[in-house]
């Protein structure tokens, strides 16, 4: 079916009589082949009077197509003028036909004629038909034509975004079609008006370069080539998930061709912090921060502030491990510098470790975790050496040398008011069945105190969980067999034959089966033991809940950290093993809740010492292998009638709270013994604080939600009088264990939802107790759209993610403001 036939059918849906003047008879063939249903097709040739009588009197309801094989006569000579004026004239001039078909006014004929190539594509024509409106102007129609060519909405920002994305891919099909359709002039005219982009030889690539230069000069100084609208567009491009890769490609190209790396060397840190358009900016920031930390010329609070600010920037995800590394190193070195290692007595040492000193062990481990994730990179090597050396010499050795003085003066291995590990069952577990409650006891081999403290923080971030950390003095020697035995209910502990086993009230405690047998002997309640893997594989609703119903006390064992650290081949992975253990323990906790458990105790058999570098010769104890030694470990010796040596602290079984006549030699401080085939960086068994301060996490599942996000208030005036308004945002409370950060997307919008400014992403995560420190000032560049809203009400929208990990947002808060802008000056010269 021809376009003329389609057009006529559409016209006859609303018209009864249609006049068709064909001046030169060029369309006669088209006319003669017409087949219009229920329409009388009549050629007019000196029969006007009879035809008029037929249409008016004989067939007043009939539809007629009147074809005139000549030009339309003057009105004074037109016998059918009254009918013509009352009905419809069909024009077969191409431009007229298009206007008629699209329902566009005659005033737009010039636009159609200028862009004939556009209409030669039936696909483009049909797409435009869906967009065209009788209210269109020359400008709006051309925008719609650009939108069809680019496959976007008919907004210049969307059209431009499509073109810069295509440019990043090394293609220009869309822009070629713009040229073909003669829309190029209109496009560049609007780019000049909207973005201030004016040049003799415009191109999409040159425009992209101008965008990046504008952002750079806004920070570094100089005249930006584009208006502030260019900055707004650049930020929207950067923040668009669908166009992010194109932004990164063009950013890399611009940075290389404009030698951005060299320019960065001239910029101060504070200027760089305002940029995130180039990946090199983050690299330079990291280098500057490393230097400042090493020279002690930046405070930890400032490092933390900078890292927090970078979290919302484009390249943070790629460099988050570097930033994490710097934040941990900064805090560690700051704490070491201000460390007071004075210890009044053993109890003071124990309490200071659980409140202050453990944090340095934790920071060292966390630093190492981030450092390893960065891969082989010399950027952080000097910082790594500084942190490691301070940890080993200024803290680990120093604190344990001082602690050793108090260990030397102990008559027995015990500290006043500090519960011993041997009392764990009586002190923590037994009270649950006595109160008619059930309890799970999760024992993680070598989960030292600092790691348990971090686990506590992770648990508290979960909704409807409470967690508190306490501590007990671990047994000596601080190794698995004795530590595991101490956690079981018992009256007496003793070394077995040849000291290869530990007896619990005369029974072997070696292995899961033996521990299960000991638990089942408890007369006051029903108890059992099982491995973590077996527990996690249980069907929660059937097997898990059956075991829960049938028992009052359930011990669950997992060996991740110690298994990794005790092997010479894998001891270097103990940092990662701790991280993996967190994940396993959180799975166990959630599985316990799924089988209806609410009370959970998490503890360990012992802690450990870990130093990342090879141990120096001075850290090995000088000793003579003693006669009577049955067990020689890297951190202890067990035997009978062992002689004291200067490098050791000797304990008898009685002093350690054990039955029998064994002697135990413990190398002083953090010294090791050389043992063939064993590693020396990860060790336990000795009396250091890191090995013997054993954590006890008391976890409880709550019935109701107890996690909230921080609230954010806006402190602002009711009117906006500046083209770069500044708003104060106040975080009403510090972030804490149960009060989590709030991530917001903030911008100004019309009442019907059109953006009027750049859109900013902010994370409100301050843990500062001072209210003033929790205030943020944010400025927003207004777009040209704001001019059309002057004197009107607008919305400051604060939006948050609809759910974790999704890109859709929902309204958090909306504030109605009035735009009251002055038009003095030139907005484009901002």
Q: Is the pLDDT of residue 828 over 70?
A: no
| Residue 777 near residue 726, CB atoms below 8 Å | yes
Q: Which residues, 6+ apart, have CB-to-CB distance to 279 below 8 Å?
A: 248, 251, 252, 255, 315, 318
Strand partners, 714: 729
Tell me which H or E stretch contains 271. Answer: helix 269-272
| Residue 712 near residue 744, CB atoms below 8 Å | yes
* Helices within 686-793 (DSSP H only): 689-692
**How many whole angstroms from its chain centre is CA 16?**
64
Stretch 472-483: mean pLDDT: 98
Q: Is the pLDDT of residue 395 over 50?
A: yes
| Residue 777 near residue 719, CB atoms below 8 Å | no
* % of the chain beyond a pLDDT of 70: 99
Strand partners, 20: 67, 90
User: Residues 724-747: pLDDT tens digits?
Assistant: 999 999 999 999 989 999 999 999
Tokens of 797: 């929208």
Within 26-140, strands assigned E span: 40-43, 64-68, 88-90
Strand partners, 191: none
More reliable by pLDDT, 166 or 93:
166
Q: Which residues, 6+ apart, have CB-to-CB distance to 825 below 8 Å?
A: none
Cα→Cα distances 760→311, 522, 743, Å = 13, 62, 11
- In this prediction, residue 611 has a pLDDT band, given cuts at 50, 70 and 90, of very high
- In this prediction, residue 92 has a pLDDT band, given cuts at 50, 70 and 90, of confident
Quote the pLDDT of residue 1: 61
- In this prediction, residue 829 has a pLDDT band, given cuts at 50, 70 and 90, of very low
More reliable by pLDDT, 275 or 222:
275
User: Residues 529-549: pLDDT tens digits?
Assistant: 999 999 999 998 899 999 999
Euclidean distance between CA atoms 285 and 323, whole angstroms = 10
Judged on CB neighbours under 10 Å (0-12, 13-18, 19+), 460 is middle
Cα→Cα distances 21→83, 91, 100, 633, Å = 14, 7, 15, 110
Q: Is 126 helix (H, G, I), strand (E, B) or coil?
A: helix
Backbone angles phi, psi at 530, to 5 degrees: -155, 160
Euclidean distance between CA atoms 560 and 444, whole angstroms = 7
Q: Is the pLDDT of residue 595 over 70?
A: yes
* Helices within 395-544 (DSSP H only): 397-408, 424, 431-434, 449-460, 480-486, 512-520, 532-536
Query: Model-level pTM?
Result: 0.86
User: Residues 267-322: pLDDT tens digits?
Assistant: 999 999 999 999 999 999 999 999 999 999 999 999 999 999 999 999 999 999 99
Euclidean distance between CA atoms 179 and 170, whole angstroms = 17
- In this prediction, residue 830 has a pLDDT band, given cuts at 50, 70 and 90, of very low
Tell how many helices (H) and how many strands (E) occur in the chain.
Answer: 34, 29
Same fold, 421-614+682-701 and 708-829: no
Cα→Cα distances 652→87, 251, 257, 415, Å = 118, 70, 74, 17
- Structure-token match 């002039």, residue found: 185
Euclidean distance between CA atoms 395 and 339, whole angstroms = 9
Burial string for 656-682 (b: 16+ CB within 10 Å, else e) reads bbbeeebbbbbbbbbbbbeeeebbbbb
More reliable by pLDDT, 804 or 321:
321
* % of the chain beyond a pLDDT of 90: 84
Tokens of 697: 């996490």
- In this prediction, residue 366 has a pLDDT band, given cuts at 50, 70 and 90, of very high
Q: If you compute the radius of gyration of the chain from its CA atoms, what whole number of angstroms results?
A: 40
Residue count (the chain): 830
Tell me which H or E stretch contains 360. Answer: helix 358-373
Angle, nearest 10°, between helix axes 156-168 and 138-150? 30
More reliable by pLDDT, 822 or 398:
398
In this structure, CATH architecture of domain 421-614+682-701: 3-Layer(aba) Sandwich (3.40)
Stretch 774-794: mean pLDDT: 92
Q: Which residues, 6+ apart, have CB-to-CB distance to 199 below 8 Å?
A: 206
Q: Is the pLDDT of residue 645 over 80?
A: yes
User: Residues 646-697: pLDDT tens digits?
Assistant: 999 999 999 999 999 999 999 999 999 998 888 899 999 999 999 999 999 9
More reliable by pLDDT, 718 or 530:
530
Euclidean distance between CA atoms 689 and 666, whole angstroms = 13
Stretch 628-654: mean pLDDT: 95
| Residue 65 near residue 33, CB atoms below 8 Å | no
- 708-829 CATH choice from 3.40.50.2300, 1.25.40.10, 2.120.10.30, 2.60.40.10: 2.60.40.10
Would you kindly state where each structural domain of the chain is located, as residue ranges? 1-92, 261-408, 421-614+682-701, 708-829
Quote the pLDDT of residue 825: 43
The chain-wide mean pLDDT, for the chain, equals: 94
Quote the pLDDT of residue 826: 42
């Amino acid at each position: 079916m021809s376009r003329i036939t389609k057009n006529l059918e559409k016209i006859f849906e609303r018209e009864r009589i249609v006049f068709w003047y064909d001046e030169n008879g060029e369309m006669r063939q088209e006319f003669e082949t017409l087949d219009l249903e229920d329409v009388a097709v009549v050629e007019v040739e000196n029969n006007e009077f009879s035809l008029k009588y037929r249409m008016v009197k004989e067939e007043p309801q009939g539809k007629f197509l009147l074809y005139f094989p000549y030009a339309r006569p003057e009105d004074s000579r037109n016998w059918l003028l009254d009918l013509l004026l009352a009905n419809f004239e069909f024009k077969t001039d191409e431009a007229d036909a298009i206007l008629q078909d699209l329902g566009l006014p005659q005033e737009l004929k010039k636009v159609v004629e200028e862009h004939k190539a556009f209409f030669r594509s039936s696909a483009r024509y049909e797409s435009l038909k869906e967009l065209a409106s009788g209210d269109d102007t020359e400008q709006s129609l051309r925008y719609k034509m650009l939108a069809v060519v680019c496959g976007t909405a008919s907004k210049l920002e969307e059209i431009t975004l499509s073109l810069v994305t295509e440019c990043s891919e090394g293609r220009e099909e869309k822009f070629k079609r713009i040229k073909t359709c003669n829309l190029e002039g209109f496009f560049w005219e609007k780019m000049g008006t909207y973005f201030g982009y004016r040049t003799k030889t415009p191109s999409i690539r040159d425009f992209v370069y101008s965008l990046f230069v504008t952002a750079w000069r806004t920070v570094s100084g100089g005249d930006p080539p584009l208006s502030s609208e260019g900055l707004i567009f650049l930020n929207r491009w950067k923040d668009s998930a669908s166009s992010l890769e194109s932004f990164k490609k063009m950013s890399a190209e611009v940075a290389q061709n404009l030698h951005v790396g060299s320019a960065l060397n001239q910029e101060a840190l504070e200027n760089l912090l305002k940029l995130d358009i180039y990946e090199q900016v983050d690299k330079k920031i990291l280098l500057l921060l490393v230097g400042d930390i090493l020279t002690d010329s930046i405070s930890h609070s400032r490092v933390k502030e900078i890292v927090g600010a970078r979290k919302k920037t484009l390249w943070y995800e790629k460099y988050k491990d570097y930033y994490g590394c710097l934040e941990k190193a900064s805090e560690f070195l700051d704490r070491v510098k201000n460390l007071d290692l004075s210890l009044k007595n053993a109890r003071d040492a124990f309490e200071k470790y659980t409140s202050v000193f453990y944090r340095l062990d934790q920071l060292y481990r966390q630093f190492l975790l981030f450092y390893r994730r960065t891969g082989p990179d010399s950027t952080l090597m000097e910082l790594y050496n500084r942190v490691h050396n301070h940890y080993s010499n200024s803290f680990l050795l120093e604190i344990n040398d001082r602690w050793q003085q108090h260990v030397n003066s102990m008559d027995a291995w015990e500290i006043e008011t500090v519960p011993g590990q041997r009392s764990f069952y009586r002190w923590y577990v037994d009270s649950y069945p006595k109160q008619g409650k059930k309890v799970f006891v999760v024992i993680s081999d070598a989960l030292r105190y600092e790691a348990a403290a971090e686990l506590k923080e992770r648990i508290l971030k979960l909704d409807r969980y409470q967690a508190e950390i306490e501590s007990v003095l671990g047994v000596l020697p601080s190794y698995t067999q004795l530590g595991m035995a101490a956690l079981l209910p018992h009256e007496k502990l003793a070394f077995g034959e040849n000291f290869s086993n530990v007896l619990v009230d005369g029974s072997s405690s070696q292995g899961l089966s033996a521990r299960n047998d000991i638990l089942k002997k408890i007369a006051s309640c029903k108890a059992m033991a099982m491995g973590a893997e077996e527990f996690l594989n249980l069907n929660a609703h059937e097997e898990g809940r059956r075991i829960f119903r049938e028992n009052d006390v359930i011990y669950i064992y997992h060996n991740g950290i110690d298994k990794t650290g005790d092997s010479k081949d894998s001891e270097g992975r103990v940092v990662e093993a701790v991280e993996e253990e967190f994940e396993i323990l959180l799975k166990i906790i959630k599985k316990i809740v799924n089988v209806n458990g609410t009370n959970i105790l998490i503890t360990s058999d012992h802690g450990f010492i870990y130093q990342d570098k090879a141990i120096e010769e001075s850290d090995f104890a000088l000793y003579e292998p003693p006669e009577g030694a049955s067990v020689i470990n890297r951190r202890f010796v067990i035997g009978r009638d062992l002689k004291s040596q200067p490098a050791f602290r000797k304990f008898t079984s009685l002093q350690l709270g054990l039955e029998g006549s064994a002697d135990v030699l413990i190398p002083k401080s953090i010294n090791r013994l050389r043992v063939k085939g064993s590693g020396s960086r990860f060790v336990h068994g000795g009396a250091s604080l890191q090995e013997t301060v054993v954590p006890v996490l008391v976890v409880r599942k709550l019935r109701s939600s107890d996690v909230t996000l921080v609230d954010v208030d806006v402190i602002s005036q009711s009117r906006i009088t500046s083209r770069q308004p500044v708003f104060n945002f106040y975080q009403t409370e510090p972030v804490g264990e149960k009060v989590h950060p709030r991530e917001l997307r903030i911008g100004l919008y019309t009442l019907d939802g059109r953006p009027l400014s750049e859109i900013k992403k902010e994370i409100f995560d301050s843990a500062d107790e001072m209210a003033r420190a929790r205030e943020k000032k944010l400025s927003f560049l207004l777009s040209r759209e704001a001019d059309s809203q002057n004197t009107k009400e607008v919305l400051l929208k604060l939006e948050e993610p609809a759910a974790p990990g999704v890109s859709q947002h929902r309204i958090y808060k909306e504030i109605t403001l009035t735009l009251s802008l002055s038009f003095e000056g030139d907005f484009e010269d901002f």
